[in-house]
């Protein structure tokens, strides 16, 4: 961790131990199911280094970026993830579907929940272009998906290396254990997008100071994944070092709530 200041949606946050902590990694092979679940409950996330071989992850990245570059050069880029955008076609393509349907993802979600689980078809592909001051605002997934924390798990999968400088995902320490937090801070939180009530804030420095919690961050390499609870507040930094790509691969308990919209492929304007 060598940077002194980082930004999210253009807002600066000092890269210091007052604001940031280092995520801890879990070694799947040497961790029992009970310990894995205990850690997930305690941290609200489980970071798994080298969960996938790096080469197929990089292949996904390259395949998408090739489509994206072609469309960019042709000048035919609609809003990210809408019909006609490469991300829209990509999440519907056979290689991407094969990638997200790898049995290891479902087996992981099963181990973590200890229940029968089913995949959620809708798989967002996030792409923040290099140098753009645009990032995921602080939010909990529970706002976007119907389901209680134990019912849905997200396997956040960076498509390629994703260092802190490149816009890594971060978690507000222990925030999943305080369910009242989002509504407590919402009223007074700075917000750059007033027409959307779902994010909590784009000002990650403000949120850390207001809650007295640090952002837990890590430099990710291709093949690393993080499983997170829909109750934990998370956000990303700006993509200051290259194209920033990731997929949110989700599962739900089969005996939990089911939303028919989960069965559709993602598009960024599906209102969900
Ligand atoms: O990758 C991102 O930018 C956001 C990911 C996210 O919010 C999620 O996986 O729930």
Residue 96 falls inside a structural domain: no
Q: What values do phi and psi take at 2, rounded to 5?
A: -115, -10
Whether 13 and 19 have beta carbons less than 8 Å apart is answered as yes
> What is the extent of the structural domain holding 160?
5-54+102-263
Residue 147: per-residue pLDDT: 54
Work out the average pLDDT over 205-217: 97
Residue 88 falls inside a structural domain: no
| pTM to 2 decimal places | 0.95
Residue 256: per-residue pLDDT: 78
Point out the least confidently predicted range of 33-37, 186-190, 214-218.
186-190
Residue 146: per-residue pLDDT: 59
Residue 36 falls inside a structural domain: yes
Total of domains in the chain: 1
Residue 67 falls inside a structural domain: no
135 CA distance to ligand 1 centroid (A)?
9
Residue 196 falls inside a structural domain: yes
Q: What is the CATH number of the domain that holds 174?
A: 2.60.120.620
Query: 137-169 burial, b if ≥16 CB within 10 A, otherwise e?
Result: bbbbbbeebbbebbbbbbbbbbbbbbbbbbbbb
More confident call, 142 vs 147: 142
70 CA distance to ligand 1 centroid (A)?
25
Nearest to 134 by CA among 237, 207, 204: 237
Residue 76 falls inside a structural domain: no
Residue 95 falls inside a structural domain: no
> Is 20 close to ligand 1, i.e. is its CB under 6 Å away?
no
Work out the average pLDDT over 250-254: 91
> If you average pLDDT over every residue of the chain, what do you get?
93
> Is 8 close to ligand 1, i.e. is its CB under 6 Å away?
no
- Please state, as a whole number, how many other Cβ atoms lie within 10 Å of the Cβ of residue 22: 12
Point out the least confidently predicted range of 107-111, 193-197, 226-230, 251-255.
193-197
More confident call, 190 vs 247: 247
Work out the average pLDDT over 170-190: 92
Per cent of the chain over pLDDT 70 is 97
Work out the average pLDDT over 127-152: 82
What length does the chain have? 272
Residue 154: per-residue pLDDT: 94
Ligand 1 site-directed mutation target among 248, 251, 266, most atoms within 8 Å of CB: 248
**255, two tokens:** 């005996």
> Is 234 close to ligand 1, i.e. is its CB under 6 Å away?
yes
More confident call, 142 vs 79: 79
Whether 243 and 129 have beta carbons less than 8 Å apart is answered as yes
pLDDT above 70 (res 70): yes
**29, two tokens:** 């092979």
Work out the average pLDDT over 79-83: 97
Residue 150 falls inside a structural domain: yes
Residue 145: per-residue pLDDT: 64
């Amino acid at each position: 961790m060598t940077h002194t200041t980082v930004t999210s949606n253009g807002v600066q946050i000092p890269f210091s131990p007052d604001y940031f902590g280092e995520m801890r990694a879990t070694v799947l092979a040497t961790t029992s199911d009970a310990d894995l679940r205990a850690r997930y409950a305690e941290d609200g996330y489980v970071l798994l280094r080298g969960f996938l071989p790096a080469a197929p992850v990089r292949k996904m990245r390259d395949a998408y970026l090739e489509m994206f570059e072609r469309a960019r050069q042709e000048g035919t880029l609609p809003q990210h993830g809408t019909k006609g955008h490469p991300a829209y076609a990509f999440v519907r393509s056979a290689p991407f579907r094969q990638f997200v349907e790898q049995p290891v993802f479902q087996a992981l979600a099963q181990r973590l929940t200890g229940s029968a689980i089913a995949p959620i078809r809708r798989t967002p592909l996030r792409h923040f272009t290099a140098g753009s001051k645009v990032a995921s605002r602080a939010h909990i997934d529970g706002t976007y998906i119907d389901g209680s924390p134990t019912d849905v798990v997200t396997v956040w999968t960076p498509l390629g290396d994703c260092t802190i400088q490149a816009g890594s995902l971060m978690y507000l320490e222990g925030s999943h254990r305080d369910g009242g937090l989002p509504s407590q801070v919402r009223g007074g939180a700075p917000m750059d997008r007033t027409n959307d009530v779902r994010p909590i804030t784009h000002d990650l420095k403000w949120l850390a100071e207001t809650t007295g919690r640090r952002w837990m961050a890590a430099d990710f390499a291709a093949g690393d994944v993080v499983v997170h609870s829909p109750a934990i507040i998370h956000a990303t930094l700006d993509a200051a070092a290259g194209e920033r790509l990731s997929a949110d691969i989700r599962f739900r308990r089969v005996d939990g709530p089911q939303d028919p919209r989960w069965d559709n492929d993602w598009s960024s304007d599906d209102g969900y």
